[in-house]
Structure 1
Amino acid sequence: MRRNLRTDLTRRGLFGLTLTATAAAALPAWAQGASGGAGLDPWMGEKVYGNPDAPVTLIEYASLACSHCATFHKEIWPKLKAEFVDPGQVKLIFRDFPLNAPGLRAHQLARCAGEKRFEGLKDVLFKSQATWLNQDYEKRLAMVARMAGLTQAQFDACMADKQLENFLIQSQATGGSKYNVNSTPTFIVENTGTTVAGANEKELFEALEDAGAKRKAP
């Protein structure tokens, strides 16, 4: 069932893990030794991967606090990118679908980094998910933010950004009302209207081929 984010913002209590050097090791080059002096540049655009004129359009609704989304990002996305996106057969549109308060705050952090740094921070948050997704998630996310070059004041401003928060909540609401998305990850092949729920590589790739995408041999 889709969660009410505004209600869930007052709740705590996921998993008791601690932030380790894993997140720091996963940070891309732009974050290592970055300065936090620059102002925030929250980005509320649509992230598109691949050729905008690709014949097949795939929409992904995902949450940065979703373990199955992290599995897709780490294990399936590299294959999808190499076999469908890079050859120009598929464009993927990433849309935010935070399911709970930790997810919402993680999405805010990724977007507060700005358009150019969004992808790098999204990658870090997925790969280090086990280290920040716990009952102290805000403190852990603040540590990730500092390693990415944001000051504590910038992080606090990011978490308090109601315009950005509303943008993310609206993204979730639109996914639910327009495509009946109620879990993550959910993929919609726009050409055919086919929906694939979960990190199911076989089903997803077959749906793309059914829509006319030609798969490049691995």
Structure 2
Amino acid sequence: MKLTRLSALGLLAAAPLALAGCDDAAAPGGVASGEPLPAVAAPEGTSWANTVTVTPEGGYMIGNPDAPLKLVEYASHTCGACANFAATAKPALKEKYIPTGNVSFELRNLVRDPIDLTIATLVRCGAKENMQPLSDQAWASLNDIFAQVDANQALYQSAGSQPVDQRFITIAQSAGLIDYFAARGLSADQSRACLADTEAVEAIAEASQNQAEELGINATPTFLLNGKKLDVNSWDQLEPLLQRAGAR
């Protein structure tokens, strides 16, 4: 079982955490002006807002897989700015833009720390349709999750000396995440099994590292529109760019 990538990322040890460590996304890339795009009907009996696709990059996409405007967010589960985007942007995306078939929204992880990787693993543990909703709920509870870690520092730090297939279980317990996700439909046994699957955990970390290196992404949240990085990091900056590109 390969552990080199997790070791290189410092994700096998329970390092100290700080919520304030989010970076602002800042990257080149303009958005060309386009005419308003016509709506694209979903297949009969379905809706684009409930259509979920797991992409080759390991992201989870909501919407028309062939949408002319493909919005991607690289996010960290311990990033306050990402939590703010989930609260302010996702309702509009899901209710206004994704249902037209013109815009798809894909969530990919830029892993920063052990809690981040633990949550990224748990939101993938059940049905693919649950990944983004569970991510949004975890972001909404971020302060409570960090408070749990602060209250259980001894348990959190003990994870670093445990066998690798037990470390992320212990991290999750210290953050109250086993019970948190159990209340949202993911049983404790499911959570423990996913967190003990070191190859799957490592795959999330590897995808994050490889894509960050390939695309030059070093901040969260970072947004791509049709493969081009945007120099924005909030919904009030991003929505006008979508509209400029033709989203309605």
Question: TM-score interval w.r.t. the shorter chain?
Answer: 0.7 to 0.9
Q: Show structure 2 runs of 5+ residues with no match.
A: 1-5, 20-53, 153-170
Q: Show structure 1 runs of 5+ residues with no match.
A: 17-42
| Residues 1:145 and 1:81: Cα distance change in structure 2 (over 3 Å) | closer
| Residues 1:80 and 1:117: Cα distance change in structure 2 (over 3 Å) | closer
Q: What pairs up with 1:44-63 in 2 under 5 angstroms?
A: 46-63=59-76
- 1:181 has 2:217 as partner: yes
**What does the per-residue CA deviation read over 1:54-101, in whole Å, with 9 as the maximum and x for residues that have no partner?**
211111111122111111011122123334322222111111222111
Match of 1:94 in 2: 107
Match of 1:213 in 2: 246
- 1:111 has 2:146 as partner: no
1:173, 1:90 → 2: CA distance? 26
TM-score, scaled to structure 1: 0.72
Match of 2:33 in 1: none
- Amino acid in structure 1 at the alignment position of 2:145: W
- 1:12 has 2:15 as partner: yes
**What is the CA-CA distance between 1:106 and the residue it aligns to?**
0.4
Q: Once structures 1 and 2 are overlaid, which stretch shifts more, 178-187 or 109-118?
A: 109-118
2:7, 2:111 → 1: CA distance? 10
SS at structure 2 position matched to 1:86: helix
SS at structure 2 position matched to 1:175: helix
**What is the CA-CA distance between 1:5 and the residue it aligns to?**
6.7
Percent sequence identity over aligned pairs: 26
Looking at CA atoms only, which structure, 1 or 2, has the larger radius of gyration? Answer: 2
| Residues 1:153 and 1:5: Cα distance change in structure 2 (over 3 Å) | farther
Superposition RMSD on alpha carbons, in Å?
A: 2.8
- Amino acid in structure 1 at the alignment position of 2:108: R
1:181, 1:49 → 2: CA distance? 22
Match of 1:22 in 2: none
2:96, 2:187 → 1: CA distance? 39
1:91, 1:116 → 2: CA distance? 14
1:123, 1:214 → 2: CA distance? 23
Match of 1:32 in 2: none
**What is the CA-CA distance between 1:187 and the residue it aligns to?**
0.4
1:66, 1:112 → 2: CA distance? 21
Q: Please say if residues 189 and 207 of structure 1, whose CA atoms lie closer than 8 Å, have aligned partners that are also in contact.
A: no
Alignment: residue pair count:
184
Q: What pairs up with 1:193-212 in 2 under 5 angstroms?
A: 193-198=228-233, 200-210=234-244, 212=245
TM-score, scaled to structure 2: 0.64
SS at structure 2 position matched to 1:196: coil
- Amino acid in structure 2 at the alignment position of 1:214: A
**What is the CA-CA distance between 1:176 and the residue it aligns to?**
1.0
**What is the CA-CA distance between 1:150 and the residue it aligns to?**
4.1
The structure 2 residue matched to 1:168, chosen from 204, 207, 211, is 204
| Residues 1:195 and 1:15: Cα distance change in structure 2 (over 3 Å) | closer
**What is the CA-CA distance between 1:112 and the residue it aligns to?**
1.0
**What is the CA-CA distance between 1:15 and the residue it aligns to?**
6.3
- Amino acid in structure 1 at the alignment position of 2:230: T
| Residues 1:184 and 1:213: Cα distance change in structure 2 (over 3 Å) | same
**What does the per-residue CA deviation read over 1:150-179, in whole Å, with 9 as the maximum and x for residues that have no partner?**
444433222121222122112212331222
- Amino acid in structure 2 at the alignment position of 1:131: D
**What is the CA-CA distance between 1:9 and the residue it aligns to?**
3.4
Q: What pairs up with 1:1-40 in 2 under 5 angstroms?
A: 6-14=9-17
